[in-house]
Amino acid sequence: MAGFGWFWDAMGGKTGRNQKRSKQVVAQSAKLHQSIAGLSDEELSQQGRALCADGSINDAPKLLAVLAEASKRTLGYTPFEVQSQAVLRLLEGDVIQMDTGEGKTLVGAMAATGFALMGKTVHCVTVNEYLARRDAAWMSPLVEFFGFTVAHIEESMDAPQRREAYRASIVYAPVTELGFDVLRDQLITSRDQAVQHGADIALVDEADSVLVDEALVPLVLAGNEPGAAPAGRITQVVAKLRPEQDFSIDGDQRNAFLSETGARRVEQMLGIDSLYSDEHVGHTLVQVNLALHARAMLTRDVHYIVRDGKVALIDTAKGRVAELQRWPDGVQAAVEAKEGLAVTEGGRILDTITLQALMGRYPRVCGMTGTAVEATDQLRQFYDLRVSVIPRNRENQRIDYPDRIYATAEEKFDAIVEDIASLHRVGRPVLVGTHDVSESEQLAARLAELGIAANVLNAKNDEEEARIIAEAGDIGRVTVSTQMAGRGTDIRLGGADERDRDAVVELGGLAVIGTALHRSKRLDQQLRGRAGRQGDPGSSVFYVSLDDDVVQVGGAGESVTAHPDADGLIEDKRVYDFIQHCQRVTEGQLLEIHSQTWKYNKLLADQRVIIDERRASLLDTEAGLDALREHNAQRVEELEQRYGHALMVQAARELLLYFLDMGWSDHLAHMDDVRESIHLRAIARETPIDEFHRIAVREFKQLAQSALHRAQETFDTVEIDASGVHLEDAGLARPSATWTYMVSDNPLSGGGNSVLRGIGAIFR
């Protein structure tokens, strides 16, 4: 807690996150309110600044009082005491847990303003563009009250607009855009091209989603360069394989494996000796596995659709076509080949970063979410963050019913439909959380047969979804949505304007129904939290069947005897406990995959930091020119005399950066191959991670040295004139176009319904 110890010192105690103490501060703060209420706006703003004059907080209770009063004047919200308590915790650098609907947006903005008063810049990290725009607009009066600027980032902005936006003291931005900007800034050849200027603090909303669930999603920056297409023949051969005999799918549905028979058939059809020979293990076997993966694990209309002759991914967690997503290149090509489509040219991957590595770039991270407690271990292990639980302002009135367990998926489905219908009959609003779009649609179709019109959220934009979700608490509404859809939207009873609030309260509030348990209890909690905002009545219940993923995967190899009634309902404490156990197992698996995968990523993330430093020194100093002078002093001197020192500094910079960047890009591609082939070598019982590390370290050592040599060599012959260095004439052009995307290679996503389950297993 270096640098923040002052805070607790200032409060006269070091009992850490002791709730009692922070409550005392808040109570003290409330008493100060009277004395502050009389100040003019100007005086109040002055006070705030004075309280943090030396970059730290001199008087925490008073600062909270000032922030609260400013909130009241600018936004019309008088913060509840629990909100002030949460602000304190954020300022101290915790992840706070505060239930849905308790007002985290305001809490985040107050904390961000507090940081700004201390002279710090803040990135408020959101899960989508809609929320970044909404929160920046909503909270700007508070921030601006103290004379600070606030801005937000959206995808459509060009570089100058972004550069301008990032100048603000507080920037609201979707996590993906923050990452893409980091990657693009990694290609600049002079400092003034950068759009980001760094920030002191990342304040992450929906912190568990960003920091845990999506932590290992790689953001990718690619440049145009034709890539190799996978052989169509392999796809044909794989299409002929027979399930079970030739290949199997492992118990947790994460990977498809060739059996020995299958391998022999492939060898026969391809006319090769052995897939596992040195000649084939690196290329053919990888391609066969990709084709098998595309065939066995990725289903058309579930994981992707074919539209306009192209494969478009469906993000099953969000239930929509994922416009900007691709699978890792090999998989994308394999699916295209399977569908008989033209295989798109792969670009050259210039750089990639995971959200976890992105967050690691901030000197300080804090965050807020409705469900942090269940992520405590991950937050501590991966980010050294502590969780603070903030009590609710009004007592929770939501009734959480025990899971309703059915023998089969069909019986469960019938029971869910019946439950919805009977709630709907009396007019009570129902929000159903499903696992994927196809389930949502199936359910909506059944409801339609019963004359119940359900709003199904999918394939729409965040803003529209937010509007629909905002109305989900209205009389007679039935809303069917996947886990992630419409997150961050407030569901008020009786409609967004609460016109029929009393009637809905009378009926018991919003009823939340989960159609299956998630792989982690935390995700269940997120869904439950949609009901019962700010002390509203409400209820939640999850349906489970013994066919469900969680039970099959978590209970693999175990069985339980159940005695269902005529409708398939099982009411048995032992079965209930067994299901809890299954969910704990799947939770443990997710954590294990996360740590394993991170082990692979961590090394590259560390190497990336070194590249960053190298780039910075090339951009900000004359190190590049010095290197050239060392190699060919005569040419440097001649050219300097002709074109001047400044031009030569820039020319050297571009030359060295070019080779450094391409070297890094090659390194990433190479390590990707290594990672894939190493997985296959694991069969030969080598320890994959150690081998991976050994190769990564060795290759990286050569990278910088070889970039330097190649730059020096090129310098001898490359043309340099009054307009600078002509790399393109030497066939060394940087990609003329770049694009960004997210790889849906997310073993940890949402409800365990990652688009690409199998690939995660490659990292094991």
Q: Which does 490 bind (CB under 5 to 8 A by kind): ligand ADP, Mg ion, none?
A: ligand ADP
Where do we find the tokens 């409550």? 23
- Three-class SS state of 133: helix
The 82-111 contact track toward Mg ion, x by CB under 5 A, reads: ----------------------x-------
The residues near 359 (Cβ < 8 Å, ≥ 6 apart) are: 202, 204, 210, 211, 365, 383
User: What are the C-alpha distances in Å from 448 to residues 301, 421, 443?
Assistant: 21, 11, 9
Site residues (CB under 6 A) for ligand ADP, limited to 51-80: 77-80
Q: Are 126 and 135 in contact (CB under 8 A)?
A: yes
With CB under 6 A, what is the number of residues at the site for ligand ADP?
A: 14
Identity at 474, one-letter amino acid code: D
83 is in an annotated binding site: yes
Identity at 517, one-letter amino acid code: L
Q: Which does 180 bind (CB under 5 to 8 A by kind): Mg ion, ligand ADP, none?
A: none
Angstrom distance (rounded) from CA 490 to CA 663: 48
Decide: is 193 part of the binding site for ligand ADP (CB under 6 A). no
Q: Which is nearer to ligand ADP, 72 or 599 (CB)?
A: 72
Identity at 14, one-letter amino acid code: K
φ and ψ of 579, to 5 deg = -70, -40
702 is in an annotated binding site: no
With CB under 5 A, what is the number of residues at the site for Mg ion?
A: 2
Q: Which does 621 bind (CB under 5 to 8 A by kind): ligand ADP, Mg ion, none?
A: none
Shortest Å, Cβ 205 to Mg ion: 6
Nearest to 84 by CA among 117, 62, 116: 62
Q: Which does 702 bind (CB under 5 to 8 A by kind): Mg ion, ligand ADP, none?
A: none
Q: Tell me the three-class secondary structure of 28-62, residue by residue.
A: HHHHHHHHHHCCCHHHHHHHHHHHCCCCCCCCHHH
- Widest pairwise Cα distance in the chain: 94
Between helix 633-643 and helix 645-681 the angle, nearest 10°, is 130
Local structure of residue 230 (DSSP, 8 states)? P
Which residue number is nearest to Mg ion in terms of Cβ? 488
Shortest Å, Cβ 63 to ligand ADP: 17
Helices (H), 556-644: 573-620, 623-631, 633-643
Shortest Å, Cβ 105 to Mg ion: 5
Shortest Å, Cβ 107 to ligand ADP: 7
Decide: is 319 part of the binding site for Mg ion (CB under 5 A). no
Q: Which is nearer to ligand ADP, 98 or 116 (CB)?
A: 98
Q: Which is nearer to ligand ADP, 78 or 408 (CB)?
A: 78
Shortest Å, Cβ 468 to ligand ADP: 16
- Three-class SS state of 723: coil
Query: Which of 250, 400, 490, 691 touches ligand ADP by CB under 6 A?
Result: 490
Site residues (CB under 6 A) for ligand ADP, limited to 286-315: none
User: What are the C-alpha distances in Å from 157 to residues 36, 149, 195, 736?
Assistant: 41, 18, 11, 19
Q: Which does 267 bind (CB under 5 to 8 A by kind): Mg ion, ligand ADP, none?
A: none
The 539-578 contact track toward ligand ADP, x by CB under 6 A, reads: ----------------------------------------
Angstrom distance (rounded) from CA 221 to CA 356: 17
Q: Are 471 and 499 in contact (CB under 8 A)?
A: no
Shortest Å, Cβ 138 to ligand ADP: 9
Identity at 459, one-letter amino acid code: A
Site residues (CB under 6 A) for ligand ADP, limited to 78-117: 78-80, 83, 98, 100-106
Q: Which is nearer to Mg ion, 207 or 292 (CB)?
A: 207
Shortest Å, Cβ 498 to ligand ADP: 10
Where do we find the tokens 């219908």? 421
- Three-class SS state of 707: helix
38 is in an annotated binding site: no
Angstrom distance (rounded) from CA 262 to CA 288: 11
93 is in an annotated binding site: no
Identity at 241, one-letter amino acid code: L
Q: Which does 6 bind (CB under 5 to 8 A by kind): ligand ADP, Mg ion, none?
A: none
Q: Which is nearer to Mg ion, 488 or 554 (CB)?
A: 488
DSSP string, 703-748: HHHHHHHHHHHHHHHS-EETTEE-TGGGT-PPPS-EEEEEE---TT
Shortest Å, Cβ 107 to Mg ion: 9
Identity at 711, one-letter amino acid code: A
Shortest Å, Cβ 487 to Mg ion: 8
104 is in an annotated binding site: yes
Shortest Å, Cβ 589 to ligand ADP: 29
Q: Are 727 and 655 in contact (CB under 8 A)?
A: yes
Q: Which does 101 bind (CB under 5 to 8 A by kind): Mg ion, ligand ADP, none?
A: ligand ADP
Shortest Å, Cβ 547 to ligand ADP: 33
User: Which residue stretch of 73-81, 415-423, 481-489, 676-684 sits at the interface with Mg ion (rule: CB under 5 A)?
Assistant: 481-489
Q: Are 484 and 437 in contact (CB under 8 A)?
A: no
Which residue number is nearest to ligand ADP in terms of Cβ? 103
Q: Which is nearer to ligand ADP, 205 or 213 (CB)?
A: 205
Angstrom distance (rounded) from CA 248 to CA 245: 8
Decide: is 488 part of the binding site for Mg ion (CB under 5 A). yes
Q: Which does 328 bind (CB under 5 to 8 A by kind): ligand ADP, Mg ion, none?
A: none
Residue 633 region by backbone torsions, left for phi larger than 0, else alpha for psi between -120 and 50, else beta = alpha
Q: Are 360 and 498 in contact (CB under 8 A)?
A: no
Cα angle 121, 123, 129; round to 5: 150
Nearest to 650 by CA among 190, 185, 187, 186: 190
Q: Which does 289 bind (CB under 5 to 8 A by kind): ligand ADP, Mg ion, none?
A: none
Q: Which does 236 bind (CB under 5 to 8 A by kind): Mg ion, ligand ADP, none?
A: none
The 687-726 contact track toward Mg ion, x by CB under 5 A, reads: ----------------------------------------
Cα end-to-end distance, the chain, whole Å: 33
Angstrom distance (rounded) from CA 132 to CA 204: 11
Binding-site residues for ATP: 83, 101-105, 490
Contacting positions for ligand ADP (CB under 6 A): 77-80, 83, 98, 100-106, 490
Q: Which residues bind Mg ion (CB under 5 A)?
A: 104, 488
- Binding-site positions: 83, 101-105, 490
